[in-house]
A and B are shown apart, each in its own frame.
Chain A
């Protein structure tokens, strides 16, 4: 029987390898790296991890990750409350905020519908969205789910649910990405680009 590393090491390897994108070898590498670093650095990391869990919650309105009951975007009076952009992940908000091009509010679904993975409506924040749209304050909903098969399925489903409420539903344009080459574009992208072409 080969001699295995002691328990504290093993248990950290086990925890780390449960993280996305980290396999047992990477987990082992990180563990031994942490073992060599000084205690202050490790404590700072541990504190950051605990604070992340203890001090964050989901915004009561948009389900984005926030330190307060209502996030900084929903509580900002300068953001247009009649316009809501639906995104799959909180990270999508970071990308959109970086552009400075959007001044409305958000709604985070925390995933997309994926029937073959068993992810349906109840696994996403769709009920929260519908509840939010009931009072008539929102005039336009922009669907910003990813242009993937799951994102499209989610978009079509949301359209079906929201349209009967009499709210305008739009979809972020899908077409040729900046910096790409037409030559390499696929049929769906080109077809979407044609459908979404605009006066110029």
Chain B
């Protein structure tokens, strides 16, 4: 969408960087313009009228004015501050992880309303669902599908044979999906072994809505395997490690100790 000199939109703050004495550069994910950056003047001062409306992981209506380089935020009013996650260390950390994924996968200045709906929907669900880790896997799989990196789970990526319980030969991030056992043995692609139930779970995550999935949460071993597999695939796709992984691992160890 072409921007007017002063334009309005809504967006979730997915990143903030300090600038100068009291200013910030914010990255928003918006339904109308995709990922955009905005300069927010004096928001680090305690009496700034905008600061609370422009905090990380806040969904706000925004008014911006076009600048020479970066646009300036001149107005903001929060729509949803996701209050239900604010006192939960784990859920805040999961929300930050989702924001980091959006920052890596969303395109600058290109509207993607479906991805926005997915992200906003998952942020709202995160404060409610008893299965936040399951929700993260749903988010990852659908993010990959939306941005064109959907892993092929139904047929072998090399010979197009249908993948079944008896012939599944592992998952290859570099080939972009499942290998049949024959291709795994005779191609140069390495197939990470995975259980048939994990393969099924990823297929389900690709196929069904969250409302349908939430009724039947998988057991933690399947969920852990899915997490490992998606982590490998996302790292391969982005060609770098997502920074939040280290923190999420740290939190997991902390929970295990307790």
Contacts and interface: CB of A to CB of B under 8 A. Distances in A.
Given A116-B243, A191-B83, A149 B52 contact: no
A177 B44 CA distance: 13
Contacts of A191: 81, 83, 86
Interface string B197-224: 0000000000000000000000000000
B21 A152 contact: no
A77 B58 CA distance: 44
Given A115-B244, A118-B246, A187 B96 contact: no
Interface stretch (B31-39, B87-95, B140-148, B173-181): B87-95
B62 interface: no
Interface in B1-51: 15, 18-21, 46-47, 49, 51
B7 to A, nearest CB: 22
B26 to A, nearest CB: 12
Interface residues of B, number: 37
B81 A115 contact: no
Contacts of B92: 149, 152-153, 156
The binding surface of chain A is classed by DSSP as helix
Nearest to B77: A186
Contacts of A2: none
A177 B57 CA distance: 21
Pick the most buried of B58, B88, B96, B248: most chain A CB atoms within 10 A of its CB: B96
Interface string A145-176: 00011101100110010000000000000000
Given A116-B244, A120-B247, A187-B78, 15 more contacts: A116-B15, A116-B96, A116-B103, A116-B243, A117-B243, A120-B246, A148-B55, A152-B86, A156-B92, A177-B46, A185-B52, A186-B78, A186-B81, A187-B83, A188-B52
